[in-house]
Amino acid sequence: MGDSIDLQADASEVGRSRRFCVDLLRGWGAAGIVVDTVELLVSESVTNAVLHARTACHLTIVRVDGGSDGPDRVRVEVNDGDPAPPVTKHYGLEAGSGRGLHLIGVLSDANGCIVTPEGKQVWFEVRWESAPTSEADPADARPDPRARDHDRSS
């Protein structure tokens, strides 16, 4: 089971990639933690393609059956037209960028980069978990990460 989308080399496509990811994973019945993690890492991967490769990219999301080898996984692949592999850079604490590859390394169960004749494929995998059957609407179950509680007094 899987799906893919073509994205232009434009920053607005990052939001489109996140919406595609969330809709797909919710449709498959993924647990909220899987949706949130994959959404964040898709955002980082597509942002890297837009900012560094500066080419259109192709995003593929597949649910991989682990079979007897282990648990099911969500595999994400971002193919772009730049053959240069991504490089982890060390920015200062105040830098507004430079954490994407680190996040992918920490939050994914496996990840890598494959140089292809057309450029490269950056991929990662996250362990699959199904949403609890008692979970009503997954959109209601996850808090809006942009919302902030400004009144912290209790």
Stretch 110-138: mean pLDDT, rounded? 88
Predicted pLDDT at 43: 95
Place of tokens 């498959």: 28
Choose among 28, 32, 114, 35: nearest CA to 63.
28
Stretch 19-28: mean pLDDT, rounded? 97
Predicted pLDDT at 152: 41
Domain 2-132 has CATH 3.30.565.10: yes
Predicted pLDDT at 148: 44
Predicted pLDDT at 153: 42
Higher pLDDT, 68 or 47: 47
Predicted pLDDT at 141: 52
pLDDT in tens, 82-114: 998 887 766 665 655 556 788 899 999 999 999
Stretch 128-154: mean pLDDT, rounded? 58
Predicted pLDDT at 68: 82
**Where do the domains of the chain lie?**
2-132
